[in-house]
Structure 1
């Protein structure tokens, strides 16, 4: 069992992180022309607009909540005046609200990707896999937040998952901290690292292509050729 814990909570996360970093560097150097989201907006716009808006509206607060819950020690939150009850209420209700928005967006985007014939035809295998995995990750996150926390209210992920997670960056992860973590949380964490390992080889790389240079870029002028 200890060997399995080491595999799941030490070897696997580090493998995914290394692939995430090296994979991005390799793809950027070797495959810049395919560093794109391959938009299918010209095929179908309405569902894409709704799903994308819901997903992006929800995912940013969800990510901020994960950074706060995993990255900030409980003692620091106490020092800021945020006790366990306040944090729990925020995580359940505020996190659940934005998680539901994210899940709704992913359901629309995944339904669109799999059911619209022309969109599916334009999609690669990795596109379909990304949609399915992201939907699964968000669903498991919602299940852990709403169902598992209701069934096991005594479980505090900040006393186990958060400490283990920070240990990864200190190069001293304690796999034993994950032993008694509820299964739904374990699946959510493992699938989250899996998407990191998968990320460099999919359309998700477009996340890093923020067009900041557009702000200071000169306008492009189009002039009619009067000789024609």
Structure 2
């Protein structure tokens, strides 16, 4: 059992993080031409717009919620006046709302990929994996937040998962912190690290290519003609 815990909560996360970092460097150096979201908007626009809008509206607050929940110690929250009850309300109700929005978006996007024949034909294996894995991650996150927390109200992931997570990043991993974590949370965490390993080899790389320069760019760009004509 100790070996399994070390494999799941120490070795596997570090492998996924290493692949995430090295994979992005390799992809950028060798495959910049395909560093794209590969939009299929020209095939079907309505469902893509609805699903993508819901997903992005939901996932951004969810990501920030994960960052604060995993990265900020419980004692720091208490020092800021955020007690357990207030934090629980924010995590379950506010987090649950945006989680539902994210889940709805993923359901629409996944259904679109599998029910629209033209979209399905243009989908690569990595596209299908990303869709299914993201849908699974969001579903398990919602299940853990709403169902597991209701069944096991005494469980506080900030005293287990959050500590384990921070220990990973200071290179002092402690697999025992995950021993008593409910199964739904464990599955959610493992699936999250798994998608990090897939990330560099899928369309998810477009996340790092937000065209911020467009904000200050002129509407019309004039270029010099060096041909002499």
Partner Cα separation in structure 2 for residue 194 and residue 180 of structure 1: 21
Who is 1:19 aligned against? 19
- 1:212 CA drift (Å): 1.6
Who is 2:136 aligned against? 136
- 1:173 CA drift (Å): 1.4
Who is 1:53 aligned against? 53
Partner Cα separation in structure 1 for residue 118 and residue 110 of structure 2: 14
Who is 1:111 aligned against? 111
Who is 2:78 aligned against? 78
Who is 1:226 aligned against? none
* 1:220 counterpart = 2:221: yes
Residues 141-220 of structure 1 mapped to structure 2, 5 A cutoff = 141-218=141-218, 219-220=220-221
SS at structure 2 position matched to 1:90? helix
Structure 1 residue ranges (4+ consecutive) displaced by more than 3 angstroms after TM superposition: none
Partner Cα separation in structure 1 for residue 28 and residue 132 of structure 2: 25
**CA deviation digits over 1:71-104, x for unaligned, max 9?**
0000000000000011011100000000000000
Partner Cα separation in structure 2 for residue 213 and residue 58 of structure 1: 25
* 1:42 counterpart = 2:42: yes
- 1:214 CA drift (Å): 1.9
**CA deviation digits over 1:9-57, x for unaligned, max 9?**
0000000000000000000000000001111000000000000000000
Partner Cα separation in structure 1 for residue 49 and residue 206 of structure 2: 17
Partner Cα separation in structure 1 for residue 134 and residue 151 of structure 2: 25
Who is 1:31 aligned against? 31
Partner Cα separation in structure 2 for residue 214 and residue 87 of structure 1: 38
- 1:220 CA drift (Å): 3.3
- 1:221 CA drift (Å): 5.8
Partner Cα separation in structure 2 for residue 67 and residue 126 of structure 1: 26
Who is 2:226 aligned against? none
**CA deviation digits over 1:130-169, x for unaligned, max 9?**
0000000000000000000000000000000000000011
Q: Which moved more, 1:153-162 or 1:208-217?
A: 208-217
TM-score with structure 2 setting the length: 0.95
Partner Cα separation in structure 1 for residue 94 and residue 215 of structure 2: 33
